[in-house]
Amino acid sequence: MGVTMKQQTARAAIALGLLVALAYVVAGTPAHADTGDGLRVARSNACMGCHAVDRKLVGPSFVQIAERYKNDQQAVPKLVKKVKDGGSGVWGAIPMPAHPRMSDADAKSVVQWVLAGAPAPK
């Protein structure tokens, strides 16, 4: 029995996610001191390899994340933990890789930027 297109797509998405995570680990991305620049931190920590502002890539779009958590008072600490620890099952079967080298301040900066709707720089 052959592999279906859906299975091939899922495998490719998982492979892409793992490659992005590996690139992040190998690069040893340094932490940033600036907590007010979520977009810059997201770009420098490979977030854009799996997420886009307004469309689903491997993971959900930043706009989808903001919409889902807009009324959650615990969204910031919950999502900071998710960014640092990784996880799966919230947005589908493809896991989000952990980012243990990202500082708490950088993770919070990215999360706050995402929850604000991932605005473009002014």
Note the pLDDT of residue 4: 81
Q: Which amino acid is at 22?
A: L
Kindly state the helix (H) or strand (E) to which residue 112 belongs, with its residue range.
Answer: helix 104-115
The three-class DSSP label of residue 55 is: coil
Residue 12's φ and ψ, nearest 5 degrees, are: -65, -40
Q: Where are the alpha helices (DSSP H) in 28-103?
A: 38-44, 62-69, 75-85
Note the pLDDT of residue 117: 93
Kindly state the helix (H) or strand (E) to which residue 108 belongs, with its residue range.
Answer: helix 104-115
Note the pLDDT of residue 34: 38
Q: Which two tokens stand for residue 9?
A: 């797509």
pTM equals 0.70
**Would you list the domain boundaries of the chain?**
5-115
Digitized pLDDT (tens) for each residue of the chain, 122 residues in all: 576 867 666 665 565 555 445 444 444 444 433 335 999 999 999 999 999 999 999 999 999 999 999 999 999 999 999 999 999 988 989 999 999 999 999 999 999 999 999 998 87
Note the pLDDT of residue 28: 43
CATH number of 5-115: 1.10.760.10
Return the axis-axis angle of helices 62-69 and 75-85, rounded to nearest 10°.
140
Note the pLDDT of residue 12: 58
